[in-house]
Amino acid sequence: MSRHLAIRAGALALTALCSASPLAAQYPTQPPPPLPLTPAALPPFQEATLANGVRVILVESHRNPTVAFRLALPAGDAYDPAGKTGLASMVAALVTKGAGQRSAEQIAADIESAGGGLFAGTDDDFLSIAGSVLSESAPLAFEILGDVVARPTFADAEFELARTQTLSGLQLNAADPGFLAGKYFRAGLYGAHPYGATASAATTRAITRADLQAFHRDRVRPRGALLVVAGDITMPQLRTLADKAFAGWTGAPAAAPAMPSPPARSRTEILLVHRPGSVQSNLVAGNLAIGPADSSRLAASIVTNILGGGADARLFMILREQKGWTYGSYARLTRPRGIGRFEATAEVRTEVTDSALVELLAQLERITTEPIAAPEFDAKRNAMVGSFPLSIETPQALAERVATVQLYGLPRDYLQTYRTTMSAISVAQGTAAAKRVIRPTQALVVVVGDGAKIHDKLAAIAPVRIVNAEGDVLQASDLVPKVIAAAFDARQLSASRDSFVVMVQGNPLGASVVSLEATNGGWVVRENTNIMGGVVSQQTTLTTDAALVPASLEQAMSMQGQPLKTSVAFANGKATGSAQTMSQQGPQTITVNADLPAGTIASDALQAALPAFRWSDGATYTVNVFAAGKGTVQPVTLKVVGSDTVTVPAGTFDSWKIEQTGGEASAMFYVAKESRRVVKIAPVGQPLELQLAK
């Protein structure tokens, strides 16, 4: 008998023996009942206050050779001065980009050599610096922490880089419907309260290096700061390292400004953020809620999870699984230091926007009026109880949770008793909390989508106000594109041919040639782009009249070998044809049938038209642009946001810096002041630039 046959025979014999054994008959068929829950066995919290006023909490544990820390200060986004929203977050972004005698690169290298990481950021209320290192490197980590919090350099180069990155991020956000929904929801709920503010390009440009230094001087002070440390270190060691690191850092932060009260809401109201051409609508519905230390907070968190806590929650199961209206729908309860908010979200197809909103509001109403079944409540509550140990499993996670308990005024034993407290919450307590926290009849609803297609149906649900993506108030009549006076003088155009090198993450990986050719009474715009040896290629031919009003568009594109074709004809104020675009599901063909207001140009003519604008400091123009990929007309805004000396392969040019917003994508154009040529194009949110080569 072979070895394998022998093993198999032995296994069969053993199975037969076990099945015939009295022991097998006694094997339990049900799992044993769970043991009673007990408080979490955390190491005792040791507390101290340093001479400069920093409050220190240590959770000492020598199980792993690591030390994690979080230093939190009352210097969050709510403390941004008027007109300079985003200042606190920029301070946080820069404190690790040069401090003491170390540059940004040296800080990163030293922390990595210590086997850890360092992070700084803000939330509504606090500026935090957090990290972790191997315990043997704790002296180095505290030395860097001390420099970062007390002695940041705010180097000019790092400041300008951070501001540029922030502006690019804001441009990208402006094209993100999810970001817009959250922005306008917070603004609508909180009004003039700082929790409702969002940084803009204007507030970001208003920030100076002197502002960073003043904010740091006034708010990043040791009195009122909290340092939580968890891991392999003793209190005497910690005090020695902290005293040395924070030497010379003294004082208290400036008095907190008075916070205005958020507006009251007595009925359901809808804010429609008009985003022409959107194929889906982003919904956010909710209301102001409770603070972090409210006695019903834990019960409310259970109810919120039942409603929208994941793929097994009500909103997900109904709006996605039953109705097929969305990829997902969720709910959450925020926890700032002051007034929190409840919100439920969904992204749905344009044609079912009103139906989805009605159903979402109905589910909010249902959870506040109908008793929750005990099995549903128990399952969600028990899942939250069971997953809690994972949230304090590592020193980093434990330091974060301990800091949260202290900063938000939660009971001292909150972490130790979380599971026992949660497990004792009843269905009745959950229902009572739902009534307090979820108020659908007083909800603010924000819908980001194509207002022309959804406004009338939304108006049948609740009163509707309309704004565009920039926040400008619109009327229902504004949802249909209107004639816009010519923003450029087409008589200033001349035939041209510009060659660009396509830079991807700083590397030349392609080329693009754009030409404007005069014809009998009109123009032909040709474009030929090839990136990464044909991985992406595009050939465009657009014919227009003398004023760049389109006559025909033919476009062939290839993405990773997948051919895409667009063919559109323009006549009698209409665009008709078809366009193929790439989606997550593959090639998608849309039928084009759009009305074109007088003066509309095709998006493929926008670059060619730039030399014909009258550029000057602060100049702003709006143009109706037909986007073939969406088959819609959208207003595009071009604004001079500054001047820049641009060096590209074709030379160095003193240029206007022109920000394009609206349309299919945002971009920054650089137009040479003397020749009026486009010398550089930087699409927002993409790791590429087009630089003029000749």
d(CA 654, CA 647): 9
With CA atoms as reference, report the closest residue to 212 among 254, 164, 159.
159
pLDDT tens by residue, 538-548: 999 999 999 99
Residue 14 confidence (pLDDT) = 36
**Does 650 lie in the same domain as 614?**
yes
Give the mean pLDDT of 425-440: 96
Does the residue 17 lie in any domain? Answer: no
Percent pLDDT > 90 in the chain is: 77
Residue 525 confidence (pLDDT) = 96
**Does 495 lie in the same domain as 471?**
no
d(CA 254, CA 208): 20
d(CA 62, CA 417): 23
**pLDDT above 60 (res 18):** no
- Rounded to the nearest integer, the mean pLDDT of the chain is 91
Residue 5 confidence (pLDDT) = 40
Q: Does the CA dihedral 326-327-333-334 come out positive or negative? A: negative
| Amino acid type, 92 | A
Does the residue 582 lie in any domain? Answer: no
**pLDDT above 90 (res 228):** yes
**Does 381 lie in the same domain as 277?**
yes
DSSP bridge partners of 461: none
Give the mean pLDDT of 131-138: 95
Give the mean pLDDT of 40-61: 92
d(CA 640, CA 122): 31
d(CA 197, CA 446): 16
Does the residue 108 lie in any domain? Answer: yes
**pLDDT above 60 (res 99):** yes
Give the mean pLDDT of 661-675: 88
Does the residue 65 lie in any domain? Answer: yes
Confidence of residue 568 (pLDDT cuts 50, 70, 90): very high
Percent pLDDT > 70 in the chain is: 96
Q: Does the CA dihedral 397-402-407-411 come out positive or negative? A: positive
Give the mean pLDDT of 378-405: 93
CATH code at 218? 3.30.830.10
Give the mean pLDDT of 563-568: 94
Residue 308 confidence (pLDDT) = 96
Helix (H, G, I), strand (E, B) or coil at 307: helix
**Side by side, which strands form the sheet with 45-49?**
45-49, 55-60, 226-231, 66-73, 127-134, 117-122
Does the residue 401 lie in any domain? Answer: yes
d(CA 680, CA 686): 14
Give the mean pLDDT of 238-244: 97
Does the residue 34 lie in any domain? Answer: no
Does the residue 256 lie in any domain? Answer: no
- The domain of 339 spans 269-479
With CA atoms as reference, report the closest residue to 676 among 611, 607, 606.
611
Residue 7 confidence (pLDDT) = 35
Residue 662 confidence (pLDDT) = 78
pLDDT tens by residue, 302-339: 999 999 999 999 999 999 999 999 999 999 999 899 99
Q: What does the chain come to in residues?
A: 694
Both tokens of 392, joined, read: 């304090």
For the ranges 391-395, 445-449, 516-520, 648-652, which has the lowest average pLDDT? 391-395
**pLDDT above 90 (res 173):** no
Q: State the total domains in the chain.
A: 3
Question: Which residues contact residue 554 at a Cβ distance below 8 angstroms, ignoring those fewer than 6 apart?
Answer: 540, 541, 542, 566, 567
CATH code at 636? 2.40.360
Phi and psi angles of residue 194, each rounded to the nearest 5 degrees, phi first: -60, -25
Cβ proximity of 642 and 618 under 8 Å: no
Residue 195 confidence (pLDDT) = 97
User: In the listed set 197, 212, 245, which residue is the last one of a domain according to the structure?
Assistant: 245
pLDDT tens by residue, 344-369: 999 999 999 999 999 999 999 999 99
**pLDDT above 80 (res 40):** no
**Does 314 lie in the same domain as 219?**
no
**pLDDT above 50 (res 427):** yes
**Does 223 lie in the same domain as 134?**
yes
Beta strand 66-73 with 226-231: parallel, antiparallel or unpaired?
antiparallel
**Side by side, which strands form the sheet with 341-349?**
326-333, 341-349, 280-288, 444-449, 269-274, 464-468, 473-474
For the ranges 271-285, 574-588, 608-622, which has the lowest average pLDDT? 574-588
| Torsion angle defined by CA atoms of residues 21, 25, 26 and 30, in that order, rounded to the nearest 10 degrees | 140
| Torsion angle defined by CA atoms of residues 133, 134, 139 and 140, in that order, rounded to the nearest 10 degrees | -60
**Does 519 lie in the same domain as 395?**
no
Cβ proximity of 665 and 684 under 8 Å: yes
Does the residue 16 lie in any domain? Answer: no
Confidence of residue 92 (pLDDT cuts 50, 70, 90): very high
Confidence of residue 222 (pLDDT cuts 50, 70, 90): very high
Both tokens of 321, joined, read: 């699984």
**Does 327 lie in the same domain as 283?**
yes
pLDDT tens by residue, 625-639: 999 988 888 888 999
Residue 8 confidence (pLDDT) = 41
**Does 385 lie in the same domain as 328?**
yes
For the ranges 54-58, 95-99, 255-259, 402-406, which has the lowest average pLDDT? 255-259
**pLDDT above 60 (res 9):** no
**Does 191 lie in the same domain as 61?**
yes
**pLDDT above 60 (res 573):** yes
**Does 310 lie in the same domain as 205?**
no
Question: Which residues contact residue 407 at a Cβ distance below 8 angstroms, ignoring those fewer than 6 apart?
Answer: 72, 125, 126, 226, 337
Q: Dump the DSSP string for 60-93.
A: E--SSSEEEEEEEES-SGGGPPTT-TTHHHHHHH
**Does 188 lie in the same domain as 66?**
yes
Residue 171 confidence (pLDDT) = 79
**Does 467 lie in the same domain as 495?**
no
